Amino acid sequence: MPRFVVVSPPFRSHAQPMSVFAAALSAAGAEVTFACGPEFADLAGALPFAAVKTTRDSNSGIAERTEQDERSARQLAGFLRATEGGAAAALLAQTRRRRAEPLAAPGRVLRDLAALHDELRPDWFVVDQIDYATTLALHALDLPFVSYVTGHPTYLVSRDDQFFGLPQAWPSAVRPSPAQLALLSAEVHLTDLAHTAAFSRFLRDFAPSRPVPRRAFGLTSSYAAVVNYPELPWLPPLPERQRQIFLGHCATTDALDEAWLDRVRDRRVLLVALGTFLSARHDVLRKVVEGALRIPDLAVVVAAGGRVAELADLAENPRVVVESVVPQRALLPHIAAMVHHGGNNSFTECLAAGVPAVVLPFSSDQFCIAHDAERSGAGVCLDPNAATPEDVANALKSVLRDPDPFADLRDAVRAAGPGRGAARLLEVLGTAREVRGTP
């Protein structure tokens, strides 16, 4: 029986799907331990849990309410302000922050993972592709690992003209100017160099016999990557020396409780959720609700995070429900459409549920995902800062008009999933010789 340790960074949007995949590996016959920050022990379920925190920041479900040190809280507030300036401003803020602190406590992460390996002796680690301190530590320790892609597949950096933090595709509604793109391109190049230099220094100090990656963001498993995404035909080239296993989605089917069933029964419902960070943009949530209310028979459920009070006046309307947190996966089979931010989980969960979406991308890989939603017919995109309530209403009417716009993709995503992906990974690894992660 192969033995795995699945290591997630302490972010609920990453830990949730990775814990589902850990359970799928166990169901497929592997011995699995789930490792994450201690506040995520509940996600392990019946699996053994190991408390390991691999990043300084964390997000237990609502970023603004997660206990952070003063520096992290200040950086979160700065990022949210940057999103108000549009796509280029948000991406610039993100890459500059990465460059200012390429790695947080990498020596501690290496020691923790070495101790975990000594205790559990796994055959394989499974690690989030963008948890760079963990990937670097496993490379330094020369331990075999599989990469898990929690975002867009382009998180796997494979080409010389590809830079982490510079979207490889843009949706129709969000296109920075040539000058903005030139500045962003220059900045992500500097960040790429800074990370590679940081990796080199770390390996010199902690593992001088290990090879230095040519590019830090290109460090990934030399054998397999599990990609929580559908295998769309237009995706750009991915690393050739690595097997990619596309999950389509990595979500469980959750039942909706009676209280929520009473709220949505016999109603045409729109779900509005901008993820664990961007629910703080209550100005955008407000205009989405105002636009949705222009459609007479549409009820609206809003996940407002820490901004419920700012939307309290909207909740006075009997067609509007505003809650801090909503059971998104359980609600999806009961809704007509969703407005989301282009996060990986929301996109893939909507695909599996057959729910069309209006996508409002703010940062990170959300622009690539919004592009894919448009191109696949699974949704339309609006600029979250420029869109008006009328724009929202028109976009919602367009996605509600066709009751089954992406049936083939929905069926393909449903036919994949974590169970099939876990079985495929075990098959792939079972035929492999012992492999070590290499740059």
Share of the chain above pLDDT 70, in %: 94
Report yes or no on 196 lying in a domain: yes
In a domain, 302, yes or no: yes
| Res 435 pLDDT > 60 | no
**Residue 76 domain-assigned (yes or no):** no
CA-CA distance, 23 to 43, in Å (whole number)? 10
Q: How far apart are CA 78 and CA 85, in angstroms?
A: 11
Pair (190, 119) in one structural domain: yes
Question: In this structure, are 11 and 28 located in the same domain?
Answer: yes
Sign of torsion over alpha carbons 82, 313, 257, 299: negative
pLDDT in tens, 368-399: 999 999 999 999 999 999 999 999 999 999 99
- For 364, phi then psi, to 5°, come to 55, -135
**CATH number, domain containing residue 346:** 3.40.50.2000
Q: Smallest Cα–Cα separation from 13: which of 51, 58, 52?
A: 58
Predicted local distance difference test score (pLDDT) of residue 103: 86
Q: Is residue 413's pLDDT more than 80?
A: yes
- Quote the pLDDT of residue 166: 98
pLDDT at 386: 97
pLDDT at 68: 56
User: Looking at the predicted structure, is the pLDDT value of residue 92 above 70?
Assistant: yes
Cβ 21 vs Cβ 148: under 8 Å: yes
The burial of 408, by beta-carbon neighbours within 10 Å (0-12 exposed, 13-18 middle, 19 or more buried), is given as: exposed
- Kind of pairing between the strands at 145-149 and 320-323: unpaired
Number of H-type helices and E-type strands within the chain: 15, 13
**Both tokens assigned to 379:** 């949704």
Could you tell me the two tokens for 354? 């057959």
With a cut of 70, say whether residue 60 has pLDDT above it: no
Average pLDDT, the chain: 93
271 and 160 in a common domain: no
Chain center to CA of 17: 9
Same domain, yes or no, for 124 and 230? yes
Structurally, the chain folds into a number of domains equal to 2
Domain co-membership, 335 together with 409 = yes
Structural domain of residue 408, as residue ranges? Answer: 258-414
Q: Is residue 77 part of a domain?
A: no
pLDDT of residue 321: 96
Average of pLDDT values for 359-366? 97
Residue 438 falls inside a structural domain: no
pLDDT for position 430: 87
pLDDT value at position 58? 67
Averaged pLDDT for residues 422-428: 97
Contacts of 101 (CB under 8 A, 6+ apart): none
Question: Is 339 within the bounds of a domain?
Answer: yes
**Are 124 and 19 in a shared domain?**
yes
77 has a pLDDT exceeding 90: no
Residue 93 lies in a domain: no
Query: 299 and 232 in one domain?
Result: no
**Average pLDDT of span 350-370:** 97
Least confident of 93-102, 176-185, 377-386, 429-438: 429-438
Q: Is residue 266 located within the same domain as residue 354?
A: yes
Asked whether 350 and 338 are in contact (CB, 8 A), the reply is yes
pLDDT for residue 436 is more than 50: no
Average pLDDT on 61-80 reads 67
Residues 240 and 270 in one domain: no
Q: What is the average per-residue pLDDT within 128-143? A: 96
pLDDT at 301 over 80: yes
Which residues lie across from 268 on neighbouring strands? 298
Q: What is the CA radius of gyration of the chain?
A: 21
- How confident is the model over 206-210, as a mean pLDDT? 97
Indicate whether 148 and 297 sit together in one domain.
no
Q: Are 424 and 350 contained in the same domain?
A: no
Do residue 134 and residue 200 come from a single domain? Answer: yes
Tell me whether residue 150 is in a domain: yes
